[in-house]
Amino acid sequence: MTTVLTFGTFDVFHVGHLRILERAAALGDRLIVGVSSDALNIAKKGRAPVFSQEERLCLVRALRCVDEVFVEEALELKRDYLRQCRADILAMGDDWRGRFDEFGDICRVVYFERTPAISTTAVIEKIRL
């Protein structure tokens, strides 16, 4: 059984999120998703997510391509998460290209192209306008 692990905020869920999760799931037999905690989002993006951690967990958990979800507390714990989940593959968007190559010693690292012309920031800005 091949286990794929990916991470993200998944705030203001959009088709780009869905596509990356579906592509990640297609790489293996089981997809586990680490959903960034509210505190992690504030630390890395300087703002709280629009939807709470619990709401984002519920949304991602409800997707048929996702087998399991957990809260990602810190970026520095990626290696620990990979080991705990016994991940064979780490799948991430290409905006992180090269950032996780160091984990190639314990799993395969795959970067997917982002869905063109869509991002959570762009969606939030469009709503504001």
Q: How is the chain split into domains, by residue range?
A: 3-128
- Sequence-ordered strand ranges (E) for the chain: 3-8, 30-36, 68-72, 89-93, 108-112
Global confidence as pTM: 0.89
Q: Quick one: pLDDT at residue 45? A: 86
Question: Could you give the C-alpha distances from 50 to 27, 46, 55, 79, in angstroms and in order?
Answer: 30, 13, 10, 28
Contact indicator for 14, 123 with CB cutoff of 8 Å: yes
**Which tens digit of pLDDT belongs to each residue from 14-48?**
888 999 999 999 999 999 999 999 999 999 889 89
**Which tens digit of pLDDT belongs to each residue from 80-124?**
999 999 999 999 998 889 999 999 999 999 999 876 666 666 656
CATH fold for domain 3-128: Rossmann fold (3.40.50)
